[in-house]
Amino acid sequence: MDQSISNAHGITPPPELVQQWWEESNHWQYTGSEAEDYVVSMAAQWGADQELEACCHYFARDLRESLALELRAARRPKPMSLKKRALEAMHRNWNPHNNDDFATIARALEQLDD
């Protein structure tokens, strides 16, 4: 495929970045199809991120900044904090026979920053 056509919308990663991903796959000791899967996955994520940023730029420029922020937050949500995951795990594993222990753990977790 003609390089100018494949990168018309800026979603083909630069060769240096692809090389970095191959090196990372070696660092993780991926071989064969595992290494290919890693590089393909990273390239797909990179392309999706480029497209999202282009959409957010369009919204911020031509519509309203808050819409761009809402779109980015909806499409790339931040991972749940360790505190929140711990609280959810605690609630999933709640045992009525250890209610005092669970209450103590919950109070300690609630005092932590996210």
Q: Are residues 49 and 30 in the same domain?
A: yes
Number of residues written out for the chain: 114
Q: In 31-81, where does DSSP find H-type helix? A: 32-62, 65-75
pLDDT of residue 54: 83
pLDDT of residue 1: 37
pLDDT of residue 5: 39
**102 Cβ contact partners less than 8 Å away, ≥ 6 residues apart:** 90, 94, 95
Q: Are residues 71 and 50 in the same domain?
A: yes
How far, CA to CA in Å, does 35 sit from each of 27, 28, 31, 39, 93?
10, 9, 5, 6, 37
Q: Are residues 62 and 91 in the same domain?
A: no
Domains in the chain: how many in total?
Answer: 2
Residues of the domain holding 98: 82-111
**28 Cβ contact partners less than 8 Å away, ≥ 6 residues apart:** 38
Q: Are residues 63 and 18 in the same domain?
A: yes
Rounded Cα–Cα distance for residues 84 and 76 (Å) = 18
Q: Are residues 67 and 28 in the same domain?
A: yes
Cβ atoms 20, 6 nearer than 8 A: no
- Max distance between CA atoms of the chain, in angstroms, equals 67
Span 34-93, pLDDT tens digits: 999 999 999 999 999 998 888 888 777 766 777 878 888 888 878 888 888 888 888 888
Q: Are residues 19 and 57 in the same domain?
A: yes
pLDDT of residue 15: 94
